[in-house]
Structure 1
Amino acid sequence: SDEPGIALISSPKTTREARYSMISACFNFVNSIIGSGVVGLPYALNQAGLPFGVLLLIIVAFITDYTIILLIKGGNLSGTNSYQSLVQSTFGFPGFLILSALQFLYPFIAMISYNITTGDTLTKIFQRISGVGPDHIMADRHFVIVMSTVLCTLPLSLYRNIERLGKVSFLSMILTVIILVIVIIRAATLGPQIPPTAEAWLFAKWNAIQAVGVMSFAFICHHNSFLIYGSLERPTLTNWTRVTHISVGSALIISAAFAVASYVTFTGYTQGDIFENYCRNDNLATFGRFCFALSIITTFPLECFVTREVISNSICGRELSKVEHISVTVIIVAACTAMSLAYDCLGIVLELNGALSATPLIFIIPSACFLKLSPGRWYHSENLMPAILIALGVFVMITGLTMTGLNPQDCSHGAEMFYCADANVSATLAPV
């Protein structure tokens, strides 16, 4: 072989293990991308306009794919094996501090959003059970968040090896496909009963830059890249490129289908959390909510891995002992749980997180590291794309933050949509 790390003669067992590690990495990667951010993608199409929004989604996916590979190339050039060590070797301690803050902030806020979504979603599900009313303990979001944390997310987050989450990530992918099917069914059955809003089919709208922030939040997985790369049995650039293309391509197909089907159902009424659009008496949507809640519960541990690694590298500077591993994990999960109990609507925070954290992690930092390490001028063929992405990332950050401040996302948390009282809609949702 012409690549390091691959033996000239491989046994069948080694080949099977390598193939399994690549499949597991793909599941973990797709699961990392398709988290709570996917429910905001229909709203992004509402901001950008359907045709232009789909085009932007494809562009963001392409940039995600390109910069994930760029990160590993930078790691190979610098001889580093983590996002933090790559930036430190390239831009010194100040760059290391900036990246550590961004790399911790993004998944930490994502975990808070996962908890909030879990609490809001499961309480609506439980209220569909006979005898569970608004005053029942199962309808209390604080109780539901604490119980889901104790029973599910904390035990899964205590795993030390990320590859052990491969089967959990596979389950999450199956649930995501089920949700997609439900959304498509409701697009065909419920969509015709809801009249489209004015300007529903415009090619582009002025809030497109805000949509890029939401899409970046949905697609970012760079903070997991070195962890997943290290889980490969044969961590080579060729294998990594294959894993990245398959993972990002799969995530793009699922995300685009989900976003388009949801938007054409509700058009201008589309909310930041698409499940807020579905009526409470919709049993099919209730099952979709259940699948989505399970899906994000299984995504939570992947984000916890990243926050724990940031703490391990930034504060301890070494691998955590067993006691330290458990202690740090409990502290992270407890902090996320406490904040998710205190707040019930993080729409504007997620939008700001997309522009402030996700955009530099996707567009700017991987490109800047590669440019610093790569020989030749910035305008040379291999360096031209990273240079363009840095300029584009700065523009999206500044414009996105400005527009979000001037035009923040509305939060319709817990509100029943007006069309749910319509007789035609009620008839559509009636069990067959």
Structure 2
Amino acid sequence: MERDGSEQPPDRAPQIETDDHTALVSKPRSKGGNGDLASAGFNIINSIIGSGIIGLPYSMKEAGFPLGVLLLFGVAYITDYSIILLIKGGNLSSTNTYQELVKKTYGFLGYLILSTLQFLYPFIAMISYNIITGDTLTKVFLRIPGVGSENVLTDRRFIILFTTVIFTLPLSLYRDIAKLGKVSLVSLLLTIVILVIVMVRTVTLDPQIPKSENAWVFAKSNALQAIGVMSFAFICHHNSFLIYGSLKEPTLNNWSRITHVSVLLAVVISVLFAVCGYMTFTGYTEGDIFENYCRDDNLATFGRFCYGVTVILTFPLECFVTREVIANVFFHGNLSTAFHIVVTVFIIAVATGVSLVYDCLGIVLELNGVLSATPLVFIIPTACYLRLSEERWNHSDNLISCLILAVGVLVMTVGFVLTILHPQECSHGKEMFYCFASNVSFHNGTLPP
């Protein structure tokens, strides 16, 4: 694709030819941050396997188990490819944020559309994190001896307010996202603990729970909706420029290395989680896998606690993005210390207020997947790169980008229609039938013979 020569920035990064594609390996015009490769990697992994991982077993139910696994690998590949493509586009256009990139390639209208999507996705995710925290930790506290249903610790509103004031607000007030690297490492370790618990329960619960009809069919009609759920889980594009800019040496080679390792680890954890969760509950799998475990299951209760903490630690990453969007749109990218605090408090206050009123987002989360996550993962990075690329039309990057773009448009349009016609049901707080029918006792993590 050709561009007018006058549009090319004079200080664009030099290009070095490689076997597969043209790589931009020099630093961008902006100064690097203070973060190392490990911290950036932990932030990417934490962004991917935050709360979205909990819905991946449900995506297997929606797509059909074998097809679901294949789609999960496909979404992971597209995530890896498009994250790198996004930074390539930034280097080609000499821009340092997602918004600047889209504005330079598609003008002010593209900038507004991207800003809206980039704000809505993490903002709705923050609301869902609060709801999950309230619902999950109240079940944990109910298992403490002497804590009854009337105790303040079992009030989801109190839990949401308490965790917001004590944990998420202070962490969200950081100005440098690299400082969340250690927090993201803790979140990653807790996610691995949750994975182990799900795997253990696959072995211990599988014989006790009846398999649903057509549990192992190759494909089901809701496969496109499943891609929306997977996109919701894997999206980290909205904070990619923030993480990239936090590197001491922000080069494409460093970024590609971090991305490949981070996405590989994330997809291994995600596939194991999705497969084990679905194999345990098959057609009875809920959107939140922890809704499937009985309330008196102590091992699952510990998993709920770990998950609640993980969500709390992921919340600040999303707040960073929403704040950056507001700063770029209304404050030209610069926030004084006072405005930084005011904007952060305002964002968190609104998100907390909504999560206190609503306790089940259901269709909203599915729509967030197909209408916000899918364009941010599939459509916008590839569309920007195709507009900026100077390679021949049949270059591998251009062909792959066109394919991903077409898939994204298909998933977004058809997924939206299917979500409206067949929205996900909310079984919020419902005890599953097998918890009563088999009279299974899960106390102390044991099962009857």
TM > 0.5 fold call = yes
Unaligned runs of 5+ in 1: 7-16
Q: Does 1:54 align with 2:72?
A: no
Matched, 1:372 2:387: yes
What secondary structure does 1:190 align onto? helix
* Cα offset, 1:422, TM superposition: 3.4
Quote the residue 1:361 is aligned against.
376
My pick for the range that moved more, 313-322 or 303-312, is 313-322
1:322 is aligned to 337
Look up the match of 1:11. none
Q: CA deviation at 1:423?
A: 3.9
Contact 2:324 2:333 in 1 (8 A): no
User: Residues 172 and 222 (structure 1 numbering): CA distance in 2 closer, same or farther, change over 3 Å?
Assistant: same
Partner of 2:58: 43
Alignment of 1:375-390 (within 5 A): 375-376=390-391, 378-390=393-405
Normalising by structure 1, what TM-score?
A: 0.95
Aligned counterpart in structure 1 of residue 134 of structure 2, from 119, 123, 129: 119
The residue aligned with 1:84 is 99
Question: Structure 2 matches for 1:148-163, cutoff 5 A?
Answer: 148-163=163-178
Runs of 4+ in 1 over 3 A off after TM superposition: 376-381, 427-432
In the other structure, the counterpart of 1:198 is 213
Contact 1:193 1:424 in 2 (8 A): no
Residue type at the aligned position of 1:26: G
Aligned-pair CA distance for 1:130? 1.5
Query: What's the offset of the Cα at 1:425?
Result: 2.6
Equivalence for 1:397: 412
The SS at the match of 1:280 is: coil
Partner of 2:322: 307
Provide the residue aligned with 1:411 in structure 2.
426
What are the residue-to-residue correspondences of 1:7-406 with 2, within 5 Å? 21-376=36-391, 378-406=393-421
Do the aligned partners of 1:371 and 1:378 also contact (CA within 8 Å) in 2?
A: no
Deviations 1:18-42 (A, max 9, x none): 9x70000000000001111111110
Residue 4 (str. 1) matches residue 26 (str. 2): yes
CA distance in 1, matches of 2:333, 2:97: 13
Counterpart of 1:138, as a letter, is L
TM-superposed CA distance for 1:282, in Å, is 0.3
Report the Cα distance in structure 2 between the residues aligned to 1:429 and 1:318, rounded to whole angstroms.
52
Query: Residue type matched to 1:193 in 2?
Result: Q
Number of aligned positions between the proteins: 421
% identical equivalent positions: 64
In the aligned structure 2, how far is the partner of 1:226 from the partner of 1:269?
39
Structure 1 residues 429 and 195 mapped into 2: Cα distance closer, same or farther (>3 Å)? Answer: farther
1:69 to partner: Cα distance: 0.3
User: Unaligned stretches of 5+ in structure 2?
Assistant: 1-13, 17-24
1:257-308 residue CA offsets vs partner (Å, 9 max, x unmatched): 0111010000000001110000000000000000000001000000000000
| TM-score (normalised: structure 2) | 0.91
Cα pair 2:296 2:442 within 8 Å, conserved: no
Q: Which amino acid aligns with 2:55?
A: G
- What is the alpha-carbon distance in structure 2 between the residues aligned to residue 412 and residue 423 of structure 1? 20
The answer to whether the 8 Å contact 1:378/1:387 transfers is no
